Amino acid sequence: MPIHLSLSGKVALISGGSRGIGAATVRMFTAAGANVVFSYQSARAQADSLAKECGPDVCHPVACNLNSPDAARPLVAEAVKHFGRLDILIANHGVWPADDVPVERMSDEQWRSTMSINLDGVFGLVKHGVAQMKDQTKAQPRKNSPAGHIVLISSTSGQRGEALHCDYSATKGAIISLTKSLSTELAPEGIYVNCVAPGWVDTDMSAATIADPKSGEAIRRTIPMGRVGKAEEVAAPVLFLCTEHAGFITGEIFNVNGGAVLAGEKVAGGCSASSKTSRPLPRVPAAARRPCAQRLPQHHDLADVIAGVRHHLPQHGFE
């Protein structure tokens, strides 16, 4: 029997939907039968083209600068006004400052800007989106069906950190914690909350770096699968998490990175942190490097940890 990932009759709001992963998600959701409202900040031509491609009857672009919690209020309201309800929220928008900046040189303005877009804007979307989902349930009680699905887009940077980009990593790590907190809070309400964490993905922003022989090879050497991802390969798990087939999944961090989050990657000095190699890697140009580079490994051998603890305990009087 064929199994279909269908969103027929559902209304989805996707932030940052005009390009890259967001655009792939818009295409996939409309193909699955959903009515989609997506936001964009400045890429109006691309947004209009995408809406025309997917069909204006089922795809509606909205210009919106999601840089504060309150900025999300009119976006959610527009989605409800246009299609009558809200069933799915995908928080995909975000900013990654391209320049490498040591923490002691990072301006307060950069820190605050990254936080406002990547975290405050997401909080606002969730706040107003959840309020709408709960109101719908009060008006029409659900019968063994979800009250809503929320998928937040994080990054491998949120799990492993990223040298010289602490502002971005902090926001993406917060997104992961937000997912876990909301999943337990909203599960009794029938609202599912999950997270998808991509690594290197071939989008218009990273295409030149990936195509460059030197930097492209450096990137691929950090990924066990030996290649970067496609936007559609990130959009597909997002789609799955919003269907009936993910009916017992909430609070999960869905890694889509070719195994990179499990392997050693570059540290700030440009050498591999993997236990398998210490060969120096070519440095990827900062202007286009994706947030999966320059991280320290988080895995340690348990026996080594225990031995270290035992070594230090006697001298501190804890024997």
**Residue 98's pLDDT is what?**
82
Q: Which of 168, 192, 200, 254 is catalytic?
A: 168
Q: How many whole angstroms separate alpha carbon 81 and alpha carbon 84? A: 5
Written as six digits, the tokens of 208 are: 């030149």
Dihedral of alpha carbons 291, 293, 294, 300, sign = positive
Note whether 294 and 267 are within 8 A (CB). Answer: yes
Our answer to whether residue 40 is catalytic in this structure is no
State the Rg of the chain over Cα: 21
Written as six digits, the tokens of 37 are: 């409202």
**Residue ranges of E strands in the chain:** 11-14, 35-40, 59-63, 88-91, 148-153, 191-198, 201-202, 229-230, 253-256
Note whether 95 and 41 are within 8 A (CB). Answer: no
Residues 157, 120, 137: CA angle, nearest 5 degrees: 105
**Residue 210's pLDDT is what?**
87
Collect the ranges in the chain with pLDDT lower than 70: 264-319
**Residue 315's pLDDT is what?**
38
Written as six digits, the tokens of 168 are: 């971005």
**Residue 25's pLDDT is what?**
98
Note whether 24 and 46 are within 8 A (CB). Answer: no
Note whether 197 and 133 are within 8 A (CB). Answer: no
**Residue 203's pLDDT is what?**
87
Q: How many whole angstroms separate alpha carbon 76 and alpha carbon 82? A: 10
Q: How many whole angstroms separate alpha carbon 123 and alpha carbon 189? A: 18
**Residue 264's pLDDT is what?**
54
Written as six digits, the tokens of 273 are: 């942190």
Phi, psi of 74 (to 5 degrees): -65, -25
Q: Percent of the chain scored above 90 by pLDDT?
A: 72
Distances (CA, A) of 68 to 151, 230, 262: 19, 30, 33
Tell me the domains of the chain and their CATH numbers. 11-316 (3.40.50.720)
Reported pTM: 0.83
3-state secondary structure of 274: coil
